[in-house]
Amino acid sequence: MMPMAGGQSTDIEQLSINTIRTLAMDAVQAANSGHPGTPMALAPVVYCLWNRFLRFDPADPVWPDRDRFVLSVGHASMLLYAILHLCRVRAVRDGERHNDALAVPLDDIRKFRQLNSKCPGHPEYHWTPGVETTTGPLGQGLANSVGMAIAQRWKARYFNRPGFDIINYNIFALCGDGCFMEGVSSEAASLAGHLKLSNLCWVYDNNRITIEGKTSLAFSEDVAARFRAYHWHVEHVNDANDLDALTRAFETFRKETGRPTLIIVDSHIAFGAPNKQDTHQAHGEPLGEEEIRLTKRQYGWPDDAKFLVPDEVPAHFQLEMGARGKVERDAWATLLQAYRKKHPDLAAHLDAMERRQLPDNWDRQVPTFPADPKGLATRESSGKVLNAIAGAVPWVMGGSADLAPSTKTRLTFDGAGDFQHGSEGGRNLHFGVREHAMGSILTGMALSKVRPYGSGFLIFSDYGRPAIRLAAMMGVPVIYVFTHDSIGVGEDGPTHQPIEQLASLRAIPGLVTIRPGDANEVAEAWRVMMQMPHAPVALALTRQALPTLDRTRYAPADGLARGAYVLADAGNGVPEVLLLTSGSELSLCVRAYETLAEQGIRARVVSMPSWELFERQSQEYRDDVLPPGVTARVSVEQSAVFGWSQYVGLTGTSLGMTSYGASAPLKDLIPHFGFTLDRVVAAARQQVERQGHTSVR
């Protein structure tokens, strides 16, 4: 076995490191797809962290007080799959250990990047136990890790008591040059430094290579200086193979109490063939059989052995990491038993939070809003409901991208407080003007089992879309409160008036979008969202006041739970025309309905705040709300009409926006863009006439 450069390692350590490397080479070659370079270069780093430092029990990978490891360089997924296999991490089902099955069997490594393998191209949360978050888009994992660090700090402040450090874990993230070029990591690092998250450690693979070639093509900044300016502690390891230097760096992180830590690790993507020049090419491609043989020969490995795992390697990990993890986990379980006796209420909250459950009577203070023709902006009613819920659910926390006064998302009850360094029990987060990082941080918080929300203007959902998409992919319960949801923004003009945003959010699989039409629909929306533990929700709210409908005249607002419901119907329940709408246009359609009734036209108003929830209902219910035989249909929404055709049909009419809006007071924009009573009534009459009804007069 050839010795490593730099710090000395024992034969079993070298054998373990080379097993990680050869598994990565073989898996990528078998798939004829993937990235072997980074897993090979960073094998010593991951070996050192996992076997010497990580607080993790392979027999219980969902232990609440485990350290978190985030592979932000998701293309290096084989690095994670190899270590999960060698550490014998157990499979998990429904949040519990599943017998003694391995999370990553060797057969799944052999099927790397193949259908149904536990080793997909990039790590996927829920799919592979031991994967803490779905990574791939560079920088996302780093921002997720900041959310995890924030959640840990809040949980420690809320749950820990003298003699009972129930929450005491750290968060590690492995990143590369691409992660640092992406802006989301800069946003997240800046906030982490401001909050002094000393429980957070990023390990930066400084290999100076990207897909296109050397990083000098586009990246020449002083990373260490940048992070010192962010108020991070910076360590530098000159050789990724130097286990002693890596150990000292991780030990220094453990001692740091006032700043997050960045460990810069110099590595080289290089292989066995002496004439191999284009090392950047192998970063994203299989090495080829000949190169693999030469590289294995350099390692003292059997040339033709494929997916070889020497028996002593898993045994070594079990003796070191496995034994340490079991002791730490058992000690925590013993401490938790005593904690349950001493602090039963807090223990019950911890159990509920970890299981994504809610306390009893969590919605008892949610208000019911009286009918009011002037009404409230839905952002206003949402703020009242949010405070009622957060007051009863201690682990609801969140904030805005510097817009809390406008989005009405500040928690104002006694004791809510601000989350800052030194007051980590605060429930109000200040993300600054960082929409992208906010979205990713919220995901990390949700993965840590708190219930987070984040807010901003709907137009700025574009800035956070990558994070929203990944939260939907993972099925984590993040709540996005988006206000200023239409041309109601008025004078701010086209740059701030959301047009296509609703349609684009509705297009994200797994995301539930809700646009309530009055204060009581807002209250029901929050009830529905809080009871969805496995899906993110985008809540679209108005800046302008909307009438609070009289629910003694119209259907109860709890119909929102089914996505769409009949709000107002024809006298005999047989409508001639359907008026479909959401949000601020709901009251307009109610007025049109009443006008049509006066004209002898039987109309039905269908409130459709959530297409996704409606599509989950039975066909019978959907047909009852939208009778197939009634083809005269009009949709009304101050947004792009894209998508409404599935409900109004090819012959229906969709009244919406076809431009980016304009800068003017709302009272002028409404008639300018045609969201008037006369236009809705005229469209309904035309639909009835087109379908050949004789009652139009």
Domain map (residue ranges) of the chain: 11-329, 372-547, 553-690
Average model confidence (pLDDT) across the chain: 94
Chain centroid to CA 102:
26
pLDDT of 5 reads 39
What integer pLDDT is reported at residue 10 of this predicted model? 74
User: Rounded to an integer, what is the distance from CA 424 to the centroid of its chain?
Assistant: 22
- List Cα–Cα distances, 57 to 328, 573, 681, in angstroms: 8, 61, 65
Which of 96, 202, 90 is CA-nearest to residue 146?
202
Candidate list 132, 182, 435, 637, residue with the active-site label: 435
Looking at residue 281, its pLDDT comes to 41
pLDDT beyond 60 at 2: no
Half-sphere exposure of 648 (CA within 13 A, CB side): 25
> Which superfamily does 11-329 belong to?
Thiamin diphosphate (ThDP)-binding fold, Pyr/PP domains (3.40.50.970)
Contact at 8 Å (CB) between 62 and 92? yes
Tell me what pLDDT residue 379 has.
98
pLDDT in tens, 421-442: 999 999 999 999 999 999 999 9
Q: The pTM is what? A: 0.95
Helices (H), 393-518: 404-407, 435-447, 461-474, 501-506
Residue 223 Ramachandran class (φ > 0 left, ψ -120 to 50 alpha, else beta):
alpha
pLDDT of residue 694: 45
* pLDDT confidence tier of residue 272, bands split at 50, 70 and 90: very low
Confidence band of 278 (pLDDT split at 50, 70, 90): very low
The CATH fold of domain 553-690: Rossmann fold (3.40.50)
Q: Which two tokens stand for residue 87?
A: 């550490």
How much is the pLDDT for 696?
44
pLDDT at 234: 98
Torsion sign across C-alpha atoms 415, 524, 471, 160: positive
Q: How far apart are CA 401 and CA 37, in angstroms?
A: 38
pLDDT for the residue 9? 60
Residue 6: pLDDT over 90: no
pLDDT in tens, 215-270: 788 888 999 999 999 999 999 999 999 999 999 999 999 999 999 999 999 998 65
Least confident of 332-336, 351-355, 449-453, 689-693: 689-693
Strand pairing of 96-102 and 90-93? antiparallel
Lowest-confidence pick of 136-145, 352-361, 637-646, 685-694: 685-694
Q: In the prediction, which pLDDT does 207 show?
A: 83
Q: What is the pLDDT of residue 94?
A: 66
Instruction: Give 56-112 pLDDT, tens digit per residue.
Output: 999 999 999 999 999 999 999 999 999 999 999 999 876 666 668 999 999 999 999
* 435: annotated active-site residue: yes
DSSP string for 108-143 = HHHTTTSTT-SS-SS--TTTSTT--S---STTHHHH
> What is the topology classification, in CATH, of domain 372-547?
Rossmann fold (3.40.50)
Q: Which amino acid is at 477?
A: P
- Position 508 scores a pLDDT of 98
